[in-house]
Amino acid sequence: MKTISAGSYAIFFEEKKYKSLENYLKSDTFTTVFILVDSNTKKYCLPLFLSKIPDFLDYQIIEFPAGENFKNIDTCQFVWNQLTLLKADRKSLVFHLGGGMLTDLGGFTAATFKRGIRFVNFPTTLLGMVDASIGGKTGIDFQNLKNQIGLFANPQHLIVDFSYLKTLPKRELYSGFAEIIKYGLSYDIEFWKSLNQHIPYKEEDLKQWIYQSINIKNAIVLQDPNEKGIRKILNYGHTIGHAIESYFLESKDKKDLLHGEAVAAGLLMETYISVKLFNVKECDLNQLEKLLFSYFDKVDFSETDYPYFLQWMQHDKKNIKGEVLFTLLDRLGEAKWNIKVPDTLILEAFDYYRNLKNC
């Protein structure tokens, strides 16, 4: 697979990935190198990672607990404290070994410590590879609101090593498919067709989908790095998806929900709205149902949850002057953004999803 240029950094695959890292480490003098892990990646990914990095490298490990509940300012303070105690300076380098939660938080802590220290992303989950680690968005949750505090900061390198996917439970692996499917729905109709033609998929199919997903997101980000226009199409499925995810995070009565599971539900409901408002056909929605239910169970909620979903949507980052703005499909492969949707239609979409049966 060819290296992808992402502007100020490069995305490496296959045999080039660790050679590029070695060359980078030799190109500068780093005072200290840190490896940021969570409790899962320390156990399942770190041994493999340490066997692949250059022998000459001295490093310190910083570990924090795994899980979205720890994507907050308290964990940031812990990381900053560790960097301070270990005498990190502006010539230090941080390796981020983990999924989207870790690369989001790690990028934020690195970009703010001493006004910025350099970092390299090593995504270990499917979601991290195809979405979270690309494009320079970093951040943390605040009061269970998704990604409310953050900034744009790019890594020095992004290294995609497919072997980490073998460490994932099936549920965690499948969580990344929501973002892959989003790219086909909102941007690339041929990619959408490919995803539907390979169920069940083979390992080589997945590698190609990861590569295509990264190419798609990178192409969009290069056009609009700070999300003023076309990059907003990457929020498709996330207006409702983030609201559901935030509500489930806060509620003691709801089971844990992975990001991709919430986004998959959001994709279906926002596609339903797109059918009602634009040129998406009902048969397209039915095809999406079949594809998503190949990877996801339906999220269980009741009509009494609706007001809470609407309440969480009021805090969406895309909102302007208190108005909730959606990214929706004009037709398959073409999205439009900053769309106002009446609450009556949003509630109708909730009903549609709640009454679905797993295909």
Residues with active-site annotation: 115, 137, 179, 217, 227, 231, 235, 238, 242, 259
Please identify which residue in the block is written with the tokens 């490298």.
Answer: 57
Site of tokens 């390299």 = 120
Distance CA 141, CA 137 (A): 13
Residue type for position 123: P
Reading the block at residue 255, the tokens are: 């089971």
Tokens matching residue 88: 């990190």
